Amino acid sequence: MSDVTHVAIIMDGNGRWAKKRGLPRIIGHRQGAESIRAAVKASQNLDIKYLTLYTFSTENWNRPKDEVNTLMNMLEEQLIRETPELHQNDVKMNAIGRLDDLYPNARKALQHSLDLTKNNTGLVLTFCLSYGGRSEIIDAVKQIIEKDRAQKLDLDQVNEEFIAGFLYDPALPAPDLLIRTGAENRERISNFLLWPQEPRLNLIFTLIPISIRIPCSALDIDLIFSCPPSSVLCNPLHTIYNILHTT
């Protein structure tokens, strides 16, 4: 197998995919949300310990109000629907970002999911919600300033490890592999996990949106995704499989 233990995914391209087909952007978002289940199964089968999904960025708040409302409602719906199965499969759900900015209904559903799965010991599934890499660093600096005001800090103790202790989740390791779906003319990390990155982070940019599915038979990975015999579809996150098995 591989040394990869933490895979992070920028779930992009769903809205543009829908728009190109004359469909409402939200259709693409819903299809993308459905693909999360396949990503979780793939990660579990590959013994990946951490899967982190860039679900809703701080920049997403600038989208049209109706779209933001729908995305918040979708978040609530998905959490309510998917959490029981995730809990049954020993998945520990996690979230980082400015969570207090979420709509109350979504925040309540998220807290329930976090509380229900907090003692699970399997895959750690982290949702980045109202998240931005710059915001994470800014919020960390604010905490450090508050700590210095309360008790004068020794500058000699301020190093990378010290600062990392003030990130949204200090226990979350840096990703080994970052995948961006739907990356046509968007080969960038878009303010995602700017601090907790390894110097030699592997970057994968795929043109396929996360909402598109491709034939399993073409990839010969039916068992990896546990597709039922009648199914000929699998998620494009086969990239995880291909990378781990060719390195």
Token digits for 15?
Answer: 């809205």
Among 155, 87, 82, 98, smallest CA distance to 122 is for 87
Helix (H, G, I), strand (E, B) or coil at 206: coil
Of 45, 60, 73, 89, which is the active-site residue?
60
Q: Is 12 a catalytic residue?
A: yes
Burial call 211-242: b when 16+ CB within 10 Å, e when fewer:
bbbeebeeeebbebbebeeeeeebbbbbbbbe
Catalytic residue among 12, 14, 94, 176: 12
Closest CA relative to residue 192, chosen from 206, 205, 180: 180
Cβ neighbors of 64 (< 8 A, separation 6 or more) are none
Residues recognised as catalytic:
12, 60
